[in-house]
Amino acid sequence: MERHVAIVGAGVIGSAWAARFALHGIDVKVTDPAPDVERVLDEVLANARAAWTHLGLVVAHEGTISVVGSIEDAVAGAGHVQESAPENPAVKIPILEAIAAACPPETVIASSTSGIKPSDLQPTIDNPGRLVVGHPYNPVYLLPLVEVVGGVATDDAAVQRAMATYTEISMKPVHVRVEIDAFIGDRLLEAVWREALWLVNDGVATTEEIDDVIRYGFGLRWAQMGLFETYRIAGGEGGMAHFIRQFGPCLQWPWTKLVDVPELTEELVQTIAEQSDLQSGHHDLRELERIRDANVAAILRALEANDWGAGRTLKEQRERLG
Ligand SMILES: NC(=O)c1ccc[n+]([C@@H]2O[C@H](COP(=O)([O-])OP(=O)(O)OC[C@H]3O[C@@H](n4cnc5c(N)ncnc54)[C@H](O)[C@@H]3O)[C@@H](O)[C@H]2O)c1
């Protein structure tokens, strides 16, 4: 990318975007009113570099990350803007209006929103045809997926340019063709999260037991084949049709609470927080991030050796970085 990238909002997600762009040799300008933004950026970049070491990636040229005092200073002349402000339309929309007023008219503005439809973000911004959602997954410097979503006013060209930018930084952009709240990944995750909250609420399992069920079991399958390919195999020689016919009726059994949501009482929040402290409280945040990153990197390298799934994206990343 010839021009710098602007990151507006540098919390969990914005700081990791900054690291991913910089590690691909792209200069980044960041703006965020938080007083400790420099510290967060430094710590996240350090974790990103460590994660890349686990991946065996060598960075030939690292871009710069500079913090500037205003949205205008960040986005003036930017080649791509990644808005990563809090998940609240009342906060995001004025920020997007300010970005659109200050950056070149052709610059793609991408929102990292986890679920707000781009059509709800674009009506009041200048040149709304260049606004897309570019929804990443945490940690952005390590996980390749980004969901790209256009709104009613978005130009196809903006979607294509966003997809090209993300490919340039070794991501796997998936175009969410039909605009829908929460897109694809978070719709699936919300369903699992809802059921997990019920299981804790009803005293069926602790946070650790639920995590064990995932990481010792179907989580390992999901990382390499997802859902449908896994279930195809589960259907045995009868394949997918047999699988659906065998397990389809369970959907009518009481195997799931579906759209019911447990009330997030203070008691339930405390129960989950206490169980989580018991499970993981002996690690601080950055340490947990490093454990996660080393494990994800190991999985990615194993998939690369098998030339499969997200390992293919890592292989392309290695070739891209030379
Ligand atoms: N946390 C995740 O796992 C995750 C994953 C994917 C997408 N997202 C999305 O990314 C976005 C950011 O989420 P997060 O988890 O990084 O939140 P966060 O609270 O960690 O970070 C938000 C940052 O925005 C800053 N901010 C507030 N007002 C601002 C302004 N006027 N200008 C610039 N910066 C401002 C805050 O100081 C903060 O540092 C949200 O839209 C969220 O839905 C989050």
Q: What is the rounded radius of gyration, in angstroms, for the C-alpha atoms of the chain?
A: 21
More reliable by pLDDT, 204 or 234: 204
67 lines ligand 1 (CB under 6 A): no
| Mean pLDDT of all residues in 182-192 | 95
Structural tokens at position 258: 């579906």
* pLDDT at site 97: 98
Minimum mean pLDDT among 113-117, 169-173, 262-266, 291-295: which range?
262-266
pLDDT tens for 77-101 read: 999 999 999 999 999 999 999 999 9
Return the SS3 of 102: helix
Q: Give the Å distance between the CA of 11 and the centre of ligand 1.
A: 5
Q: Tell which residue, 187, 9, 4, 1, has the closest CA to residue 111.
A: 9
pLDDT tens for 206-221 read: 999 999 999 999 999 9
Structural tokens at position 202: 């009803």
* pLDDT at site 175: 98
pLDDT tens for 115-126 read: 999 999 999 999
Instruction: Give the largest Cα separation in the chain, rounded.
Output: 62
85 lines ligand 1 (CB under 6 A): yes
Q: Tell which residue, 319, 316, 322, 310, has the closest CA to residue 142.
A: 310
7 lines ligand 1 (CB under 6 A): no
pLDDT score of 254 more than 90: no
pLDDT score of 237 more than 90: no
Q: To test the ligand 1 pocket, which listed residue (13, 38, 92) has its Cβ within 8 A of the most ligand atoms?
A: 13
pLDDT score of 258 more than 70: no
| Mean pLDDT of all residues in 170-194 | 96
CATH level 3 topology of 185-282: N-(1-d-carboxylethyl)-l-norvaline Dehydrogenase; domain 2 (1.10.1040)
Neighbour tally for 300: CB within 10 Å: 24
* pLDDT at site 118: 98
Q: To test the ligand 1 pocket, which listed residue (17, 41, 84) has its Cβ within 8 A of the most ligand atoms?
A: 84
- Identify the residue whose C-alpha is closest to ligand 1 atom 39: 11
User: pTM for the complete prediction?
Assistant: 0.94
Minimum mean pLDDT among 225-229, 245-249, 265-269: which range?
245-249
pLDDT score of 262 more than 90: no
Dihedral (Cα; 25, 31, 34, 38), 10-degree rounding: 30
313 lines ligand 1 (CB under 6 A): no
pLDDT score of 311 more than 90: yes
More reliable by pLDDT, 214 or 285: 214
Minimum mean pLDDT among 136-145, 238-247, 274-283: which range?
238-247
Q: What sign does the dihedral 46-51-52-53 (CA atoms) show?
A: positive
pLDDT tens for 7-30 read: 999 999 999 999 999 999 999 999
Q: Give the neighbor-by-neighbor strand order of the sheet with 131-136.
A: 65-67, 28-31, 5-8, 80-83, 108-111, 131-136, 145-150, 172-176
Q: Give the Å distance between the CA of 306 and the centre of ligand 1.
A: 35
Which residue in the block uniquely carries the two structure tokens 């996660």?
292
* pLDDT at site 69: 97
Minimum mean pLDDT among 22-26, 220-224, 230-234, 291-295: which range?
230-234
pLDDT tens for 52-69 read: 999 999 998 999 999 999
pLDDT score of 307 more than 70: yes
Q: Give the Å distance between the CA of 7 and the centre of ligand 1.
A: 11
Q: Give the Å distance between the CA of 202 and the centre of ligand 1.
A: 32
Q: Give the Å distance between the CA of 115 and the centre of ligand 1.
A: 13
Boundaries of CATH 1.10.1040.10 in the chain?
Answer: 185-282
Average pLDDT of the chain is 95
Q: End-to-end alpha-carbon separation of the chain, Å?
A: 16
- CATH code for the structural domain at 5-176: 3.40.50.720
Calculate the alpha carbon distances from 318 to 2, 46, 57, 127, 232 in Å.
21, 20, 6, 36, 32
Give me the helices (H) in the chain, please. 12-23, 37-55, 71-75, 89-102, 118-121, 156-168, 185-201, 207-213, 219-225, 228-234, 239-247, 266-280, 285-305, 310-321
Relative to the CA of 33, which ligand 1 atom is closest? Answer: 37
Boundaries of CATH 3.40.50.720 in the chain?
Answer: 5-176
11 lines ligand 1 (CB under 6 A): yes
* pLDDT at site 251: 78
Q: Tell which residue, 232, 134, 228, 151, has the closest CA to residue 188.
A: 228
* pLDDT at site 36: 97
Q: Give the Å distance between the CA of 28 and the centre of ligand 1.
A: 17
- Residue 198 burial by Cβ neighbours in a 10 Å radius (0-12, 13-18, 19+): middle
84 lines ligand 1 (CB under 6 A): yes
